[in-house]
Structure 1
Amino acid sequence: MSRNGELDSLKAKEQEAFRQKQAAYQRYDEAKKLTNSAYINMQSAWNDRCSAREVMNSEYAAMQASNSNYREVWAEYSRIRDGNNTRIQQLRSDSDHEHRMMQDCFERASFAYTSGDKAEASSLSAEGRSHKERRDSINAEVSSLCYEIRSAKMNAESRAPKTDGSAFRSAKSAFNEAKSCHESAQAEFNRLKAERDRLKAEFDTAQKRFLQYKEEFQKRLAEVKAKNQQERDRILDKAGITGAERADAKIVKKADGTIQVYHGGFGPGDGFGHGHTAIDQSGVITYDRDAFESHGAQNYTDHEARSLEPDKPHDTRSTNPGARKTNGGWTPIQKGTIFDENDSFDVTFREGLGNNDGQTLISDGHVSRKNFDQYHNHYGNNDKRRFPNEPDRIEDSSKHRNDHYYNGPGH
């Protein structure tokens, strides 16, 4: 395919868009890696924060449990203390009363004894001793209640010492530090994520632009290929190239406008044993040789009117029709079907060009070029200038009247 400036420009745009897309992807990919790393750090900081919070909560629960036990134990002590103190106050009042009554009895007993009333003195003395016993008994109960208070306090102090909140405060400090680290990591992650998303948008835009240029190039390329294929098919059709030979045929357009078609043989185009068809500027086939056929003047389409110079081999003659005059030629070999009222006939034929206009070469069936060249009927007006002694029609001439290679309608 020849160079196409429009295709080159579109391809250059596509390649530049691809380069920009790849650069944008590299930036996005790097940002994505940094974001993923920051996410891992943030998650690690979050895990540390969660662990620190669990420790803090555990310490807080322990402190609260300790406070609850403290309050419960000291509340029991307070209940005992307050109840006993109330009782003690009452008992001390009773004790003071009994003490005064004892003193009064003993004083009166002493006065009665001094006065000589011994019986009264004995009675008052007995009453005083009775008040003393009650006083002592009350004082003993007071002592017992005071001891109970002291015992309850000692028990409370041993069971519920004052709560120590230092472990909770330390755990809370560690949690606050872990929280701060996590918030910093989260802020860094959010920053990198925003940058990653921005670069992703840039990449998407570059990708879209690349795909647009790629689509434009591919569309135009397909159009150019289709146009070139149409031109190739036209030339191959003109040259009569059919079947498998079309795929590897090589077409060479000369500067003077002539076209050389190489086909068949081994390998692509002009490989060993290739065939050769030449088409002049007006589209007339001037040289036509099948693959593996011999070189020679017989391959020129006007060979019946051409005489070779005897001192030059045939392969030194140019197949460039621009360098020589042609007297006539033939269309490419064509294959078709002729229909009459009762039947149809497959035929292979060529029609005359130039001086051969009005003449036809035809044979029965769809045959190869080699068989067709060797076995065909020739129809048309005879050139009386060249063959004055032959009949007016070629098919009646001495050379062709016994040809029986075409048996269809009109033979």
Structure 2
Amino acid sequence: MSRNPELDRLKAEQQSLFEQKQAAFHRFKGLQERTNIAHDIMQSAWDERTRAREHMNREFEARQSAYSYRDSVWDEYGRIRDYNNSKIESLKYEADAEHRAMQDCFEQASNAYQCGDKSEAPYYSQQGHEHKDRRDALNAEISELAREVKQAKANAEASAPRISSYAFDSAKSAFESAKASHESAQAEFKMLKGQRDSAKAEFDRLQAQFKQAQAAFNRRLKEVKSEKAARKQQSVDKVNMALVKSNAHYLGTLFGQNAKIVPHGDGTTHVFFGGLNAAGDGLGHGHVVIDREGNVTYLRDAWQDHDDYLIDNSRKRGTNTHKI
């Protein structure tokens, strides 16, 4: 059968689109695999970022707890200091008053003694000693309060933790590093995902074009086959018309056997039938030649010797031994 240029064009277009579609599919699959790997890397980076953030938060809470405890220790010291200092100020005022009263009494006792009023001198002297005792008691209380403040400060210095930010700073640095790694992996994933989606869209577009080209080729192939069948039927009709003259009938077979019809460029039609193959032109085939006017010019039955022909207008020899 001669080639059909339009079918060849449609087939070439279909093949080209198929190859483009397959190339796009392979690009898509490659990008899909890379995107999946990037997603796993991004997820792993996110998990590491989450762990680093949790560790940083724990270190932050630990530092805040240490700050809180340290502040509570110093707050207690401050409470004792402020209370005692306030009381010390009040006691100092009282002690100063007692000291001045003592001095006044001793001075009055001295004056009374010098003036000869010896009966009054002991009284003022006793009053002076009483003021002195109260002053000394107040000063002793002040000293105790001051000692308590000093001891509270020493206790605070001993109890308050010395806080270092090294652990938190290290955890924060690790978190920032994990965060940067995750963001980098996320950017890589988004880039590949965009490329993958574009490749998928390109594949879908080429797939649709390929299906359209395939459908166009199949439609045209069906038309060509239909046209071929019509031409074959015309040939069948031509053979039948030619064989009618010899009282033979051809309805797609010849003498009940499959046949192959071959039009020649000189206008003749050759029909081969009865051979050992599906087409009918195999070993032992018969042969009919019909000229352009529709006349049978040669007829040989299947398995007949070439010299034992039924019709041969070109040679005009032999005996017609086959009854049609």
TM range (shorter): 0.7 to 0.9
**Structure 1 residue matching 2:278: 3-state secondary structure:** coil
In the alignment, which residue of structure 1 is the partner of 2:273? 262
* Residue 7 of structure 1: how far off its partner (Å): 1.6
In the alignment, which residue of structure 2 is the partner of 1:104? 104
Contact 2:49 2:179 in 1 (8 A): yes
Contact 1:280 1:320 in 2 (8 A): no
Q: Which amino acid aligns with 1:197?
A: D
Contact 1:278 1:319 in 2 (8 A): no
> 1:72 and 1:144, CA in 2 relative to 1: closer, same or farther beyond 3 A?
same
> 1:133 and 1:258, CA in 2 relative to 1: closer, same or farther beyond 3 A?
same
* Residue 94 of structure 1: how far off its partner (Å): 0.5
Q: Deviations over 1:336-377 (max 9, x none)?
A: xxxxxxxxxxxxxxxxxxxxxxxxxxxxxxxxxxxxx9xxxx
In the alignment, which residue of structure 1 is the partner of 2:314? 323
Contact 2:92 2:138 in 1 (8 A): yes
- Higher helix share goes to which structure? 2
> 1:272 and 1:220, CA in 2 relative to 1: closer, same or farther beyond 3 A?
closer
Distance in 2, matches of 1:24 and 1:103, equals: 112
Q: Which amino acid aligns with 2:273?
A: Y
In the alignment, which residue of structure 1 is the partner of 2:319? none
Contact 1:258 1:321 in 2 (8 A): no
* Residue 241 of structure 1: how far off its partner (Å): 4.9
* Residue 254 of structure 1: how far off its partner (Å): 4.9
**Structure 2 residue matching 1:316: 3-state secondary structure:** coil
In the alignment, which residue of structure 1 is the partner of 2:21? 21
**Structure 1 residue matching 2:273: 3-state secondary structure:** strand
Q: Which has the larger radius of gyration?
A: 1
Query: What does 1:277-292 correspond to in 2, within 5 Å?
Result: 278=288, 280-281=290-291
Contact 1:109 1:121 in 2 (8 A): yes
Q: Which amino acid aligns with 2:138?
A: I
Q: Percent identity?
A: 43
> 1:134 and 1:319, CA in 2 relative to 1: closer, same or farther beyond 3 A?
farther
Contact 2:273 2:280 in 1 (8 A): yes
Query: What does 1:78-117 correspond to in 2, within 5 Å?
Result: 78-117=78-117
Distance in 1, matches of 2:78 and 2:251, equals: 125
Provide structure 2 residue ranges, at least 5 long, that are not aligned to the other structure.
241-249, 317-322
Provide structure 1 residue ranges, at least 5 long, that are not aligned to the other structure.
297-313, 326-372, 374-411
Contact 2:299 2:309 in 1 (8 A): no
* Residue 60 of structure 1: how far off its partner (Å): 2.0
In the alignment, which residue of structure 2 is the partner of 1:194? 194
Aligned length: 301
* Residue 134 of structure 1: how far off its partner (Å): 1.3
> 1:233 and 1:158, CA in 2 relative to 1: closer, same or farther beyond 3 A?
farther
What's the Cα RMSD here? Answer: 3.5
* Residue 53 of structure 1: how far off its partner (Å): 2.0
In the alignment, which residue of structure 2 is the partner of 1:204? 204
> 1:224 and 1:102, CA in 2 relative to 1: closer, same or farther beyond 3 A?
same
Instruction: Tell me: higher relative CO, structure 1 or 2? Use CA pairs within 8 A at least 6 residues apart.
Output: 2
